[in-house]
Amino acid sequence: MAELRFFFGTMGSGKSTQALQIHHNLSSGGLRCMLITQLDRQDGVVSSRLGVSADAIVLDGTVDVFRLISVEHQIGDGLNAVICDEAQFYEAHQIDQLTRVVDETDIDVYAFGLLTSFQGDLFPGTKRLLEMADVRQELQVEARCWCGARATHNARLVNGRQVYDGELKVVGDTTQDGATGVEAPVVTYELVCRRHWMAGRVDVHQDPLFDTAF
């Protein structure tokens, strides 16, 4: 029986790497897989920070995922699995569509994503996955805050300063507005522990208590 499986972790925990590994293993075993993503670091592929990548279908929030997969499933011998990277960016109704894929077409779905946004809230897609998935599994590759504690939160930095407001979906390392040529704010992300995420401290030199706190 097919299942919807959700694997979650922080940035740098190997989500995309594992998604690519599952895609490779299943494909090498003769199974037909579909790889999909949203807002990956490279357009048209799923890429890992380790330097591996594979071609993927890029979605936006308007795509009917059930229809997309159903059409592909009608080709040849059909699909055996769908691997979804950056699943936190999917709309809640798209997660329901993935649930229909599992229940109505008997195709396994593997979803990989973050739990919380830079604001400390569950992404809508993540929330729905936690509600609907047959299997929920945290990836065990741990990242560390600059202070040495376990990193649990994603901090968004705009020109080096942590922010808590702004659009939910912003790709990091944006340096210039291509349409106007005007220098745009530099958006980056950093992994920090809960304490330093709440304090807005993303560097050891910003924390006067660091010498005594750890």
Distances (CA, A) of 74 to 69, 77, 156: 9, 7, 42
Judge if 131 and 160 occupy the same domain: no
Residue 66 CA to residue 23 CA, distance in Å, equals: 19
Q: What is the pLDDT of residue 172?
A: 62
In the chain, helix, strand, coil percent, each to 5? 30, 25, 45
Q: What is the pLDDT of residue 109?
A: 98
**C-alpha angle 98-101-103 in degrees, rounded to nearest 5:** 110
The verdict on pTM exceeding 0.85 is no
Give the three-class secondary structure for 140.
coil
- 138, 141, 83, 133: which is closest to 114 by C-alpha? 138
Choose one of 138, 166, 183: the last residue of a domain: 138
Q: What is the pLDDT of residue 182?
A: 58
Q: What is the pLDDT of residue 177?
A: 46
Supply the range of the domain harboring residue 68. Answer: 4-138
pLDDT tens, the chain, 214 aa long: 899 999 999 888 889 889 999 999 999 999 999 999 987 555 677 766 666 778 889 999 999 999 999 999 999 889 999 999 999 999 999 999 999 999 999 999 999 999 999 999 999 999 999 999 999 999 988 889 999 999 999 999 999 899 999 998 887 653 444 454 557 789 999 999 999 999 998 875 555 444 433 3
Given the residues 72, 86, 131, 167, the one annotated as active site: 86
Judge if 78 and 178 occupy the same domain: no
In a domain, 188, yes or no: yes
Judge if 28 and 90 occupy the same domain: yes
To the query of whether residue 86 is one of the catalytic residues in this protein, the response is yes
Choose one of 81, 104, 138: the last residue of a domain: 138
Q: What is the pLDDT of residue 145?
A: 93
Judge if 8 and 46 occupy the same domain: yes
Judge if 195 and 107 occupy the same domain: no
Judge if 162 and 131 occupy the same domain: no
In a domain, 74, yes or no: yes
